[in-house]
Amino acid sequence: AKALVRVEGLKMHFPVYKGLFVRKEVRRVRAVDGLTFEIYDGETLGLVGESGCGKSTTGRSIIQLYTPTEGRVFFEDEDLTKLSPAEMHKKRRDIQMIFQDPYASLNPRMTVGDIIAEPLRVHNLAKGDEVDRQVQELMTIVGLDPRYVRRYPHEFSGGQRQRIGVARALASKPKFIVADEPISALDVSIQAQIMNLLNDLQEEFGLTYLFIAHDLAAVRHISDRIAVMYLGRMAELTDADTLYEKPLHPYTEALISAVPIPDPEVEATRKRIVLEGDVPSPLNPPSGCVFHTRCPYAFERCKKDVPDFREVEPGHWVACHLTDEPERRDGVDPTES
């Protein structure tokens, strides 16, 4: 598979300042702390992790809404971190974003038509009647009645507003879309509709998605591959089926044990892995493996050495010392920790 996006050693640290007049940096939030991975052309890569693990920051750093502290982001082999603001502005034609809260991300004073037309105007893609024609077409594509073109966002339901956000993202005919929890704020009954819409659009337009979500259940059916993040680092990345059937990272194992199973009999007898404690603060992440404070398998080495994120079998990436010493799993029942 060919990489459309290549992330190398991405770090995003946010400084924390003290002092009213003379601002002094006192600490750094290590929101994203060294990620290396690829997003293949035409795929959906699901990016999953608890809130605060850095997944949104990762999405925003990739599309250069944030300037990464360290690392490089290649899009079609071009390093986005080296582009001038004007060059990056041009690139945004190809790289778009869909936001979690379709209400907050749509200007309430603009009509739906103007919202969807904005990328066309900003990138000079259409003029006059052609703008109206394309807006109508985009509305139809995302399942909105084009007769509502002069209405305002508040006149639409949550699901329809997300469709407006999708139409806006599509307007410039992008290649790559970062969808940051696009269904989390929607009613469960609407979620599947938006997922199906995104899936159909991907097929029709050959789009590549980075699909960010806080739970695995939401990404399973849309993702070709899934990446799991914990505290600013990658824990595991592989194709969706392998991740579910053969997770290698203890954190992934715990997340999967929490995904509900539709069969009530299986669900009733199933044991869950309950992780102790909370996610530590990214201000002061644990030494060694950042997951060691909660890992049922943790051993001495985990407190000292940071596990490399490496390919342990073709296409399966894991950051865990157990891949060197699998026998350490023997006799540990993670559902009883």
Task: Summarize as ranges the residues that interact with ligand SF4 (CB under 6 A).
Answer: 249-250, 289, 291-292, 295, 297-298, 302, 307, 320-322
| Distance of closest approach, residue 231 Cβ to ligand SF4, in angstroms | 11
* Closer by beta carbon to ligand SF4, 282 or else 307: 307
* Closer by beta carbon to ligand SF4, 197 or else 256: 256
176 binds, among Mg ion, ligand SF4, none (CB under 5 to 8 A by kind): none
| Distance of closest approach, residue 203 Cβ to Mg ion, in angstroms | 7
289 binds, among ligand SF4, Mg ion, none (CB under 5 to 8 A by kind): ligand SF4
* Closer by beta carbon to Mg ion, 44 or else 58: 44
* Closer by beta carbon to Mg ion, 41 or else 114: 41
| Distance of closest approach, residue 35 Cβ to ligand SF4, in angstroms | 17
Tokens of 287: 């030494």
Residues with Cβ < 8 Å from 240, sequence gap 6 or more? 46, 219, 220, 223, 224, 225, 226
Count residues near Mg ion (CB under 5 A): 2
- Whether the CB-CB separation of 182 and 198 falls below 8 Å is answered with yes
One symbol per residue from 194 to 223: x for binding Mg ion (CB under 5 A), - otherwise; what is it? --------x---------------------
CA dihedral sign, ordered 329, 330, 335, 336: negative
| SS3 (DSSP) at 236 | strand
Phi, psi of 201, deg, nearest 5: -65, -35
Lookup result for tokens 């639409």: 156
| Distance of closest approach, residue 195 Cβ to Mg ion, in angstroms | 10
| Distance of closest approach, residue 290 Cβ to ligand SF4, in angstroms | 8
212 binds, among Mg ion, ligand SF4, none (CB under 5 to 8 A by kind): none
| SS3 (DSSP) at 86 | helix
**Amino acid found at 333:** D
Residues with Cβ < 8 Å from 106, sequence gap 6 or more? 115, 153, 161, 164, 165, 168
- Whether the CB-CB separation of 256 and 266 falls below 8 Å is answered with no
Pick the closest to residue 294 from 57, 54, 53, 55 (CA basis). Answer: 53
* Closer by beta carbon to ligand SF4, 53 or else 115: 53
**How far is Cα 320 from Cα 313, in angstroms, rounded to an integer?**
14
175 binds, among ligand SF4, Mg ion, none (CB under 5 to 8 A by kind): none
| Distance of closest approach, residue 226 Cβ to Mg ion, in angstroms | 12
* Closer by beta carbon to Mg ion, 70 or else 224: 224
